[in-house]
Chains A and B, each alone.
Chain A
Amino acid sequence: MENQKSSTENKGLFLKRTLNAPIDLVWEAWTQPEHIANWWGPNGFTNTISKMDMRTGGEWNLVMHGPDGTDYDNKCVFREVVQNKKIVYEHINWPKFLATVEFDAQGEQTQMTWKMEFESEEEFIQVVKKHGAEEGQKQNVVKLDAYLQNMKH
C-alpha cells in the first residue's frame, strides 16, 4: 500500500542505483555524447545526439531511433551542471519534466539518484498512461514480429 501511495501521490519518479564504477568513469559515460549514445534509450534503439552543451542554459538534443523506424525527439536544456556531482536538465518537449541526477563517489563505486518531476500529478498520470498504451502496442509488434519469424522458418 505504501508503495502505491508514493507512486500515485508523487508527480514523478525516483530511481537510485549503486554503479560498480568510479565517479570519473560514470561522469564520462553521462556527459560525453559518444558515450551516452551507447547506453541511452531502450533495447534495440539507436541514438543520435546533435547537440550536448553541458553548461547552464546549454541545449541537449537527442533523437532515439526505434527498431520500427520511429524517431523520438528529446529536447532538453541543462539547468545545472556540477562536475562529478550533479546534472539538472529540463525536458522541454512533451513530456515536460525536470530531472535531477546526483552522483556520490564511494571509492570504486558510485551511487546515483535520478529524480524526474513532472509539471503536475495530472501531467504525470497522462504520461504514465500514454507510455503504458505505447508499451502495450510495442509488445504487440514484438509478438507479431516473432510470429512472422516463425512463419518464415
Chain B
Amino acid sequence: MKARRDVYQAIADPTRRAIINMIANEPHNVNSIAEKFDMTRQAISLHIKILTDCGLIAIQQRGRDRYCEAHLEQLSEVAVWVEQYKQHFERKLDSLENYLEKLKKERHGKPKK
C-alpha cells in the first residue's frame, strides 16, 4: 500500500473533483479524460496520479488502454466531518426548539398538545 495522501488535498482541486465526477458512474480511459479538459495531458496525468495515490481511483489496464475507476469509499472520511459540522448547527436548532417550548409555557401556561 502506498503512503496515503490527505483525501482533503485530493478533492480540494476543482480539476480533480471534475475527474472524480466524470468517472464516478463508469470507468473512463485516461485519453478520454484528458480530452475533456483544457490542459496538457501531463497535467491531467499528474492529477490522476494524486487521485490514485490517495486511493480515490484505481487504474485498470484493458488492452492498450488504461482505465480509471472510482473508489469513493475514502470520501466517507470527509462526509463524516461534514456530518459532524452539520450536527453543530442541528444542535443549535434543538436548542431553539427547547427555548420555544419554554417561551410558549411562560406565555400560555401549559404547552399545546
Contacts and interface: CB of A to CB of B under 8 A. Distances in A.
B85 A128 contact: yes
Contacts of A108: 112
Contact of B83 (A7, A40, A129): A7
B86 interface: yes
Nearest to A7: B82
Contact of A19 (B72, B76, B96): B96
B79 interface: yes
Given A127-B85, A132-B85, A8 B100 contact: no
Contacts, number: 97
B79 A21 contact: no
A149 interface: no
Interface stretch (A50-58, A73-81, A114-122): A114-122
B70 to A, nearest CB: 11
A144 to B, nearest CB: 20
B54 interface: no
Contact of A26 (B21, B86, B100): B100
Interface string A3-22: 11101110001010101110
13 contacts: A1-B72, A7-B79, A7-B83, A13-B85, A13-B86, A17-B93, A26-B100, A42-B91, A43-B95, A114-B93, A128-B78, A128-B84, A129-B81
Interface of A: 1, 3-5, 7-9, 13, 15, 17, 19-21, 25-26, 28-29, 35, 38-43, 108, 114, 116, 121-122, 125, 127-129, 131-132, 135
Interface of B: 8, 11-12, 14, 17, 21, 24, 72, 75-76, 78-86, 88-93, 95-101, 103-104, 112
Given A3-B79, A13-B82, A128-B85, 19 more contacts: A1-B72, A4-B79, A7-B83, A15-B86, A15-B90, A17-B97, A20-B100, A29-B96, A29-B103, A35-B99, A35-B103, A39-B95, A43-B95, A121-B14, A125-B8, A125-B11, A125-B12, A128-B78, A128-B84
